[in-house]
Amino acid sequence: MKLIHRLCLPPLTRVVCVNAAFEFNNFLASQCLNSPLLASLADLDESKPPSAELLEALKEFAGIPAEASGPDSLAILAFLYMCLAISAKYGDVPSVDIVVWSELPTGAGLGSSAAYAVCLAAALLHACGAISCPLKDGEITASWRAEGWTEEEMTLINSWAFQGERVIHGNPSGVDNAVGTWGGALRYQSGKIKALKRVPTLRILLTNTKVPRSTKVLVTGVKEKILKFPAIMNPVLDSIDAISQECQSVLEAMPANPSPEHYPVLEELFDINQHHLNVIGVGHPSLDRLCRVTASHGLHSKLTGAGGGGCGITLLRPDTTPQAVEAAKRDLCACGFECWETDIGAPGVTLHSSSSLKAQVLHELSES
């Protein structure tokens, strides 16, 4: 059985393929998990955070050091937890092989862990029959927007993907897995996520500074600064919120009135937002350099993700010429960065037939 899932995650449309499979009964029979833990499996569901006791037992089973925090170790741990919990609630996942292939760099602020978690959730839920197979005869892809999975099934995928993110990050916002599941554009405020309706497709240049960073460490640093300087930091955060609201208003107005006058407003909001992000402590010299290089070409940039390195995005107007983009990319690559031109917005988690996959993906799967 082969389950191929494509995740298109704004702002970068790239592929994570999961060929779902796992010999789960052997895992349950292992001596790693003691009787109290096995007895508690029935209590596992998508609404409860993973228990520290169970995660420690899974680390022991997988041979992961207790202090390990690398992406490979966390990816294995997230998979083991999700497979265990989903199997316990919905029935055994059949014997299968897992292959993960991705063009998303890890630790760069592109939501690679959420892409991984969303694809795993969809594959495992499908494998044990908790969600349907939305592919109809003759179709090569199926997604929620293309009348694939129901809204209830999408909500279930998102909930279990959030559990995977909890294993990896501890206390994530849920934004990345929601965007990865539903696609499009979302607004996150006070713990609530709302889909934006009627947003335009925007051209961007996505640049990876290749400077690694930890979301958890950066978030902790911002919290400490807020506690230390509340009278200074809270107004900055209020201003960032106002920038987000203004940006949302512009984006929602653009489809009905696609005037070029919207772009100077977005560019100014980019600049103000980037300055504020430096103030709260999530900037980095590499990101400052990125902004200077693109500014020399008349373009406007800001960090994306948690900051502290990772990636930045550069807004491209509809009339920005290919020559101008290539000149900017050439200068950014000369800094040791990696660039892609892409669009903001994507359909979210999608089920693909093998015939719809790119040759490179099929090669990776055949080599596994």
Write out the two tokens for 138.
């003759």
Listed in sequence order, the residues at least 6 apart from 12 whose beta carbon sits closer than 8 Å to its beta carbon are 104, 110, 206, 340, 342
Mind telling me the catalytic residues?
A: 113, 176
Write out the two tokens for 352.
């693909």
For helices 71-90 and 151-169, angle between their N-to-C axes, nearest 10 degrees: 140
Distance between CA 146 and CA 187 in Å, rounded? 22
Q: What is the largest CA-CA distance in the chain?
A: 65
Number of H helices, E strands in the chain: 13, 11
Residue 303: CB atoms within 10 Å: 27
Residue 284: CB atoms within 10 Å: 19
> Do the Cβ atoms of 241 and 189 come closer than 8 Å?
yes
Q: Where are the alpha helices (DSSP H) in the chain?
A: 24-28, 35-39, 52-62, 71-90, 112-127, 151-169, 175-182, 215-228, 230-253, 262-279, 285-295, 322-334, 359-367
Torsion of CA 11, 261, 195, 279, to 10 degrees: 70
SS3 82: helix
The verdict on whether omega for the bond into residue 11 sits within 30 degrees of 0, i.e. cis, is: yes
DSSP output for 312-331: EEEEE-TT--HHHHHHHHHH
241-247: long-range pairs with CB below 8 Å, 24+:
241/189, 243/269, 243/272, 243/273, 243/276, 244/187, 244/189
